[in-house]
Chain A
Amino acid sequence: MTRELRPAPAVDASNVVARATALCKSYGVGEARVVALDRVDVAVRAGELTAIMGPSGSGKSTLMHCLAGLDSADGGEIWIGDTEITALDDRELTRLRRDRIGFVFQAFNLVPTLTALENITLPLDIAGRRPEPGWFTRVVDAVGLGDRLGHRPSELSGGQQQRVACARALVARPRIVFADEPTGNLDSRAGAEVLDLMRLGVDTFGQTIVMVTHDPVAASYADRVLFLADGRVVEEMADPSAEKVLERMKRAEGAR
């Protein structure tokens, strides 16, 4: 079987926070076998907001889950910083997620029994670390929840909940934050607030963020967009705008 090997995007290796090489992942066996990732090579650059886009079934969520140590790969290597994570056991992966990775999910991001503030400090509390006071104040200010910090998630709007989730991801200062369709459940205004906050995290705090989305507007906030199709990275776009992304998506749609 011959395969066109697409070289990894040319990046300065010292600037790479997370990297996957020849990443393979499939589900099911025999006839029902579905290849989600087909020898994918990606590199996430530090201090950038990278968006991963692709149609349903393109493997974008699987890619993110593997990079974040939530799902195991069938083959290939994944590096978070200088740690190769495919060989780690559950305990080490948990610690990795706790100390070096932040998460923002599409929904159900917050623990309902904890207040907004407690949710923000949750990863730190679990690790038994104290937030750096100055840093903590800056992040919490950026979230802009003001006096609602003592409220439970059920008393917050969807947008507020997602912003709290962003703050939780940022406050622990992880190497990398993974956001899985963070605006998928929000109206455009609330979505914009969440994306602004993520942008702020990258620009002001120098945070590295990887975001999976299928919304061209959300992707336009990114520094770089990776397009996935059929388990492979098929294109990379720098300085995306919503129009450019939409155009690209239409093209892909037409090509099918």
Chain B
Amino acid sequence: MMLRLTLRSLAAHRLRLLLTAVSVVLGVAFVAGTLIFTDTMDGQAGDIAGHLGRNVAVEVRAKDPGGRTKGVSVPVPESVLDGVRGVAGVREPVGVVTGYAALVGKDGTAVAAQGAQNPGSVSQTGGNWIPGGDHPLKTGRAPNGPAEMVVDEATAKRGGFRTGDEATVRFKGADRPMRIVGLVGSGDLAGRTLTLFDTPTAQRLLLRPGDFTAVRMASDGVSESVLRGRVAAVLPGRLEAITGTQLRTELRNDLATLSYVGGFLTAFALISVFVGAFVIFNTFSMLVAQRTRELALLRALGASNKQVSRAVLGEAFAVGVVGSTLGLAAGTGMAAFLQVILNGGATSAPAFSGTAVAASYVVGTTATVVSAYVPARRAARIPPIAALRDDVAPPQRALGRRVVTGTVLTALGGLAVLAGQLGAGLMAKALVGLGATLVFLGVTALSPVISGPVIELLGKGFPRWFGTPGLLARRNAQRSPRRTAATAGALMVGLALVGTVNVLGASMKASVSRQIESSFVDDYFVLPVRGSSIDADAIRRAASTPGIERTTPTYTGTVDLNGSRLEYSAGDLPTIMAPVAHRMAAGDLNAGTDGVLVESDVASAHHWKVGTILSARFPDGGGQDVRVAGIYPLVGLGNVMLPESLYKAHTPLPAAHSLSLKVRTADAATLRALRRSLAGYPDLGIYDRSGWKKEKVQSLDQMTTQITLLLALSVVIAAIGVANTLALSVFERTRELGLLRAVGVDRGQLRRMIRLESILIALFGAVLGLLIGLGFGIALQHAMAGLGFDVLVVPVVPLALCAVLAGVIGVAAAVWPARRAGRMDVLTAIAHE
């Protein structure tokens, strides 16, 4: 009987059902969208990693190739290949060559990779084609000889090439005509283009004859770790052996460039569940309040407490299941949208994992049923007599407990944030994070309590500016603090994050700009694309360009000093370090040939002083004693600075990670000449000071924009939540609206009243959110000041814009409810039960 009633009730109130379902759909869509997106990205990375290097048991490579000049400065000589052949258990060892090679399209520019967002994040990779290796042929045959290659399918297609075509390939130093003799699959490239040659050709064009980037081998049954040990034993000191498992993990991590986004999204999914539950709870509370009479009538007719609450819960369950299903569908669409904004285009079909589907249903249904539980219990307590009276509202719990809980949580959170400021390191950051969460929960608990006064303040001018509708709007927004707070809460979450991200983004930008100002000593800067480096020939060409007065390369790498592995930069120290010369903590810049400069906190951590003699070991296996010549302050330059001569003495194939150029006269002619001399190096970018700053700042801007866009989605959900609340309020206040119309309020004034109420609710959420975000942003910037983010910038204009946008959202959210209210027939409204 009660089931039939539940179903009837659902069918009879389609609008009500729709509004409730919308809130569930939105909440679930967010969770599902996030999970599906993460799964899809993970799947991509996982597929590739599972595929790449799948037969490799052990790889031999230069020690620590993780630096910016990856695997180039220290190659693996061919002799290693012969050496490991003698090791028991090694099967089919092959030399691998990788380097820069770009297929030149018919328009004369390098063919870009799929999903490429900016040139800096793409690698145009060349290599040697290995039978049975990572890239099996799809069509054609293996490359053979100096003028043949195979290309990946997608790149060939984008360039308009087919097997048998002649194409130009751009290597460092020169363009060469090559014939495409086959195609390999592209499914696993994730933003790379691939051109493969036979091994001697690859060595000659990409590396150096007789050298490999790495040597890989399979095992004939011996476990990876045992084999690794045996191989390591026969290697020269500058090389290391890693297991295939480690290699695959590294490849996977390399590919999972979106992992930071993944973590962020997961956190975000949790937040969206929270927000979704808010909206659902709110909606159900309102619905039950509206149905007081109906439920009381049931009670009067003899339905038990339990039956009434079961009816409400049953309704919630049905809505939850339907909403979850629709939410899952909407989430799929959202995942595609996420791919577009985060990945530069939908590159693969959405991956449905069981987790995503299960989570959607669990979240949607549980949140709905739990949200309905409190109102259901409230409904069951409605006295039967209420059915006969006109205006009963279910009793509202006092807000006293909220005040206590909220205040305690906020205070604890504030203390934790402050404590985080005093400490340092991971612990401090964790404290700030914990504090932030506590403050957030505290403010959420407090928001119904403060909504009254805050809205009073925000809407202070409303009666004067907008007349009676303004006054009524303000009073209506203050009418049900819980409802207002819960509705605004969704917006608050989104805008708090927007605030945090924008404060951090602006501060990082300012910090980076300042660093560039103080470290950019010359006129031009040459920088390779990711994964590439500047070889000696390119440095020579730049230096011999007419108009160039001085060329200063900077190299990077790692060195063991007294057993501690440290990242170093190397180059002409007096030039590179000129901006900090006057700020040296001790010693000076004249390191000679065996001196090194050490960063102050590294020096103090090891108790090194000027004059301390350290034992240095380099990746090439060589070692020598070095002397601490100077100690420099924290400026983001790295742990240690080496003189160029020391670097060159221990690096077989020097490759710079940047080039600083000083010119006689900075004019267009010099820049043109420079571009001409480096024309053979398509992987090198030439920047002037402002261009370089722009490059750096752009990537930060991009990150801020991406995250803000993501958060915009949550703001959209919140906006729909506002619309939902308003629509229900309008429904609830039908008679009152009818009365207003009867005494002479016209449609326009009624619509304005609802619009203004919406704006007030939205502004309330926005103001709270932005204030919290501002606080978090400042706290996080402080906590990270030691990492180089030492400039605090509060982006006033963007934040103010957010507040204005919140007002616009309010207007948008009110469109439909206002129209409904305006269209209401006066007489029916007055007679409305």
Contact = CB atoms under 8 A, between A and B. Distances in A.
Nearest to A119: B743
A118 B736 CA distance: 15
A113 B475 contact: yes
A187 B749 CA distance: 36
A91 interface: yes
Interface in A70-122: 70-71, 90-91, 94-95, 97-99, 103, 105, 107-114, 118, 122
B751 to A, nearest CB: 13
Interface in B725-742: 735-736, 739-742
Query: How large, as a class, is the contact surface on chain A?
Result: 20 to 34
B220 interface: no
Given A90-B747, A94-B747, A108-B736, A103 B742 contact: yes
A228 B605 CA distance: 102
B467 A94 contact: no
Given A105-B830, A108-B735, A126 B742 contact: no
A107 B390 contact: yes
B468 interface: yes
Interface in B120-179: none
B467 A128 contact: yes
Nearest to B832: A108
Contact of A98 (B390, B739, B744): B744
Contacts of B472: 111, 113-114
Contacts of B390: 107-108
Contacts of A105: 739, 742, 830
A238 interface: no
A110 B740 CA distance: 9
Given A70-B827, A113-B476, A126-B749, A108 B744 contact: no
Nearest to A110: B739
B746 A95 contact: yes
Most buried by B among A70, A99, A113, A127: A113
Nearest to A71: B827
A157 B479 CA distance: 20
A153 to B, nearest CB: 10
Given A65-B827, A126-B743, A126-B744, A111 B736 contact: yes
A128 B739 CA distance: 18
B743 A112 contact: no
B744 A97 contact: yes
A60 interface: no
B476 to A, nearest CB: 6
A109 B742 CA distance: 10
A175 interface: no
B826 interface: yes
Nearest to B463: A125
Nearest to B750: A94
Given A113-B475, A128-B467, A94 B746 contact: yes
A70 B826 contact: yes
A65 B749 CA distance: 22
A94 B744 contact: yes
Contacts of B478: 113
Contacts of A109: 739
Contacts of B467: 125-126, 128
Given A108-B735, A108-B736, A126 B745 contact: yes
A168 B472 CA distance: 17
B743 A122 contact: yes
A111 B739 contact: yes
Contacts of B827: 65, 70-71
A95 B749 CA distance: 12
A123 B740 contact: no
A129 to B, nearest CB: 11
Interface string B387-424: 00010000000000000000000000000000000000
Given A71-B827, A90-B747, A126-B749, A111 B740 contact: yes
Given A111-B736, A126-B467, 13 more contacts: A65-B827, A71-B827, A91-B746, A94-B741, A97-B743, A103-B742, A105-B739, A108-B735, A111-B740, A114-B471, A114-B472, A114-B475, A118-B471
11 contacts: A94-B744, A105-B739, A105-B830, A108-B739, A110-B739, A113-B476, A113-B479, A114-B475, A122-B468, A123-B743, A126-B744
